[in-house]
Amino acid sequence: MSIKTTSTVCPFCGTGCGIGLRTENGQLLGVEPIRNHPVSKGRLCSKGWNSAYGVERQNRITTPLIKENGAFRPASWEEAIELIHEQFSYHLEEHGPTSVGAISCARATNEDNYAIQKFTRVVLQTNNIDHCARICHSPSVAGLARTVGEGAMTNSIGDVSKADVVVVFGCDPTESHCIIGSEIIQAKERGALLIVVDPRKTRLAKMADVHLQLKVGSNIALVNGLLNIIFANGWENKAFLEEHCLYLDQLKASVEEYTLEEVSKRTGVPADQLIQAARIYSHARAAFLAYGMGVTQFVSGTNNVIAISNLVLSCGQIGRPGTGINPLRGQNNVQGACDMGALPGNYPGYQFTNDPVAQEKFSKAWGYQVPTHPGMTSLGMNEATLQGQFHAMMIFGEDPVVTDPDQNQVAKVLKKLDFLVVVEMSMTDTASFADVILPAASFAEKHGTFTNCERRVQRVRKAIEPLGECMADWQMIGHLARRFGYTGFDWETSEEVFNELAALMPIYSGMSYPRIEQHGGLQWPCNAHAPDGTPILHRKGFPNGKARLIPLHHLPPAETPDADFPYYLTTIRLHFHYGCGSMTRKSPILERETPSGLLFMNEQDARNQGLFNNAPVGVRSRRGYLETRVVFSEQMPPGLVSMPYHFDDIPSNQLTNDAQDPVTRMPELKACAIRIEPLAPTARPRSIKELREQGECDAHL
Ligand SMILES: Nc1nc2c(c(=O)[nH]1)N[C@H]1C(S)=C(S)[C@@H](COP(=O)(O)OP(=O)(O)OC[C@H]3O[C@@H](n4cnc5c(=O)[nH]c(N)nc54)[C@H](O)[C@@H]3O)O[C@H]1N2
Ligand SMILES: Nc1nc2c(c(=O)[nH]1)N[C@H]1C(S)=C(S)[C@@H](COP(=O)(O)OP(=O)(O)OC[C@H]3O[C@@H](n4cnc5c(=O)[nH]c(N)nc54)[C@H](O)[C@@H]3O)O[C@H]1N2
Ligand code: SF4
Ligand SMILES: [Mo]
């Protein structure tokens, strides 16, 4: 008997830490860090250490399941595939290809995502393919494409240590990207200056040299204010602007009205702090700016990203080590899922679905004419369902009932679908709505690649055999496509899938499994011009010749507090749990740390409502109601409360608003109006299931 360690990648966040899966006799024993890993260097956060719990047999779905008379029964693969073929064929024939679609999985491998989007385009004949990037960094993909040309982190995680200024803008890396968070703390300890832009006093905000504690939803006003100060003092990088940027005059004119007084009033940030931050950022030798959901998850998400890009470009803090505009991509493989074209408007490698040249390229490569009608986004498919125009859907590894805004609305959609297939590892709220569930192999049971937030494509390696009848998503796609009578899906290994996708994507064309292994991961673009990959983008300029500065104006959140709903609710992440909690909540260690959803609130606000610490409360928005406990938090400013979104029993998405960014249809997950209804001091908060059973909540679920 011997213990073996398989080197692979953490299945949670986009940092992409290296983990060793320890096995004995084909059984998973646990996890160890990889000492010489280029990103994590022997470190892991508590989720990485606990990743083996998330894939344990007792929690898994291990055979296909078919719903009959409201209950699931085990089925064979043949039977499940037959039913899917029959139903999708029917809807394709009856209502056409715009009436069906798929949601791909940012937790699955590149090979899985490539196969899923190819299946959707070739077999289902539609561009109705999307995934959770929609409600995550789609504004980064859209915004940065318009300004600098690429929607990804421009620099590498290691660049944090080369910066003399670090800006943490609307993200909370010590909770959400913990190893990046620890790099920032180390940089600060070595003398780098830290600026945090966040309405909450996060752990990093407490350590910061400047904490711009702005009002929720005032990012553009704040950035335009900083630009006004920078231009008024001549602190911009004139040489860089001259050589690399278009439309400076328009930008300058647009920020004129953002005077110190006006911006201070709009954002709530004192004028001296605005001046201090503008001076530090513009004078930095190398300023590393990281941003996250506090920027993107607004109706102004794309404009927020563009505003930050204007700031970065105006100070020339890009294209050099230690600088850059760095969206911290969230899911382990959300960068990859976007790269693979699991998006309605993009083929693999960000080639546009409305470009005739790209259409021809992919039609030829895949051997079938690709669809030309525009695809719908995930929330677009939901709306079309309610309007009776969308009928059948496949969801690969997402739990929108818990993670999409306005849970009651999502449930209504899933109920209305004529046919729903969910591909999952374990039973989720969303899977319970399915007509067919297919059992997905976990990251530990398959080979493939993940692309982390710094564009590093890394090898995922199989440590154990797939449990029961589980299969990698790309393998299921192969079986499905063959049943539909299509060729071109006959891959035998994940490596064959990778070779096919790399050949079609100029940004991956220099990659192969052996080369990825040799280099410890390769950062795209990796091709003939950059055979060893590209740790820093835009060293020599911008893909479209020059970068664009784009004037913009402040837009408040769609819903603002009023007499009926007097607080802003913002939703956040907690260190110990991940996404819908379907993996982290299986770990007794993580569950012990944070077992339940909570409402974080400023102590004074709570006392004004007669609430004590831990008091039970009802929380109501215009869309839903839940019950939880209040926790006094010095992180929260007056008027703002926060809740994590990881808990299916206390789901903050009961309350959130699906008002959307017009460019990307990103919903406004970071700001909605709520009221707090104190419960009897001895009452126990009821779970959402109890509330539903007692008729105090929308009954769709
Ligand atoms: N532990 C854990 N880690 C995760 C995840 C997880 O579920 N759990 N999920 C992963 C995923 S998918 C993602 S996308 C990333 C996200 O990682 P982050 O971007 O760090 O995520 P959040 O905690 O949602 O939001 C970030 C911050 O935005 C702030 N904020 C709210 N409103 C505003 C505003 O108007 N302006 C500014 N400037 N800030 C504002 C909030 O106070 C919060 O601190 O995390 C990844 N990592
Ligand atoms: N209120 C609020 N809501 C939010 C957010 C917020 O900040 N506030 N953040 C949003 C963001 S940024 C994101 S990214 C989304 C995330 O939302 P989701 O993508 O729905 O969340 P996850 O928990 O990552 O769910 C992924 C599912 O994939 C399954 N899975 C894992 N690996 C595989 C695989 O290899 N194959 C298959 N088929 N399945 C697999 C897991 O079992 C899990 O149930 O949540 C969004 N929702
Ligand atoms: S920081 Fe992210 S990738 Fe690293 S161990 Fe934690 S969850 Fe995994
Ligand atoms: Mo995300």
| Count of CB atoms situated within 10 Å of the CB of 610 | 9
Residue nearest atom 36 in ligand 1 by C-alpha distance: 294
User: What's the pLDDT score for residue 698?
Assistant: 66
- Of all protein residues, whose CA lies closest to atom 1 belonging to ligand 1? 575
* Cβ proximity of 287 and 163 under 8 Å: yes
Residues 168 and 124 in one domain: no
Same domain for 362 and 302: no
What residues are neighbours of ligand 4 (ion), with CB under 5 Å? 136, 330
Which of 13, 104, 105 for mutating ligand 2's site (highest number of atoms within 8 Å of CB)? 105
pLDDT for 697 = 76
Is the Cβ atom of 458 under 6 angstroms away from ligand 1?
no
CATH number, domain with residue 591: 2.40.40.20
Looking at the structure, tell me whether residues 378 and 501 fall in a common domain.
Answer: yes
Q: Within 13 Å of residue 118, how many CA atoms lie on the same side as its CB? A: 34
Final residue in a domain of this structure, among 301, 327, 353: 327
Is the sign of the CA dihedral 605, 611, 616, 620 positive or negative? negative
Q: Which of 327, 351, 370 is at the close of a domain? A: 327
Measured from the CB, is residue 179 less than 6 Å from ligand 3?
yes
**What's the CA gap between 21 and 32, in Å, rounded?**
7
User: Would residue 77 count as lying in a domain?
Assistant: yes
End position of a domain, from candidates 55, 73, 98: 55
Q: Has residue 593 been placed in a domain?
A: yes
Same domain, 362 and 429: yes
Find how far residue 102's CA is from the centre of its chain. Answer: 17
Q: Is the domain of 114 the same as that of 192?
A: no
- The CATH number of whichever domain residue 167 belongs to comes to 3.40.228.10
Sign of CA dihedral 575, 579, 580, 582: negative
The verdict on 146 and 285 lying in the same domain is: yes
Which-ligand-closest: CA of 178? 3
Give the Cβ contact number of residue 432 at 10 Å. 14
Q: Measure 579 CA to ligand 4 centroid, in angstroms.
A: 8
Q: Does the predicted TM-score (pTM) go above 0.95? A: yes
Select from 367, 359, 428 the least CA-distant residue to 397: 428
Cα 313 to chain centroid, rounded: 25
Longest dimension (CA), the chain: 73
Pairing of strands 325-327, 346-347: unpaired
| 592 and 643 together in one domain | yes
Closest CA to 353 of 125, 543, 116: 125
Q: Tokens 């490569």 correspond to what residue?
A: 365
SS3 letters for 375-386?
Answer: CCCHHHHHHHHH
- In degrees rounded to 5, what are phi and psi of residue 558? -65, -35
Q: Which residues of 335-374 are buried (b: 16+ CB within 10 A; e: fewer)?
A: bbbbbbbbbbbbbbbbbebeeeebbeebbebbebebbeee
For residue 557, is it within any domain?
no
List, for residues 88-117, the tens digit of each pLDDT value.
999 999 999 999 999 999 999 999 999 999
Tell whether 273 and 387 lie within a shared domain: no
Q: What is the CATH number of the domain that holds 25?
A: 2.20.25.90
Residues 484 and 366 in one domain: yes
**How many H helices and E strands in the chain?**
25, 28
Q: What is the pLDDT of residue 571?
A: 98
Q: What's the structural domain count of the chain?
A: 4
- Whether residue 112 contacts residue 79, with contact meaning beta carbons closer than 8 Å, is answered with no
158 DSSP assignment: G
Query: How would DSSP label each residue in 235-274?
Result: -S-HHHHHHHEE-HHHHHHHHTT--HHHHHHHH---HHHH
CATH number, domain with residue 444: 3.40.50.740
Residue 550 lies in a domain: no
Q: Residue 498: name the closest of 452, 535, 442, 448 by CA.
A: 448
* Same domain for 308 and 364: no
Q: Tell me how far apart the alpha carbons of residues 558 and 560 are, in angstroms, rounded to a whole number.
A: 7
Per-residue model confidence (pLDDT) at position 504: 98
Cα-to-centroid distance, 370 and ligand 4 (Å)? 29
Residues 8 and 32 in one domain: yes
Q: Is 139 in the pocket of ligand 1 (CB under 6 A)?
A: no
Is the distance from CB of 405 to CB of 135 less than 8 angstroms? yes
Q: Whose CA is nearest to atom 4 of ligand 1?
A: 176
Residues 487 and 575 grouped into a single domain: no
| Edge-to-edge strand list for the sheet holding 436-439 | 71-74, 65-68, 436-439, 419-424, 392-396, 100-103, 129-130
Answer yes or no: is 394 within a domain: yes
- Residue 484 maps to a domain: yes
Classify burial at 643, counting beta carbons within 10 Å of its beta carbon; exposed 0-12, middle 13-18, buried 19 or more: buried
Low-confidence ranges of the chain (pLDDT < 50): 699
- How far is residue 515's CA from residue 500's CA, in Å, rounded to a whole number? 15
- Its domain, for residue 428, covers 65-128+337-523
| 15 Cβ inside 6 Å of ligand 3 | yes
Rounded to the nearest angstrom, the distance between the alpha carbon of 443 and the centre of ligand 2 is 14
Query: Which of 497, 402, 405, 370 shows the shortest CA–CA distance to 112?
Result: 497
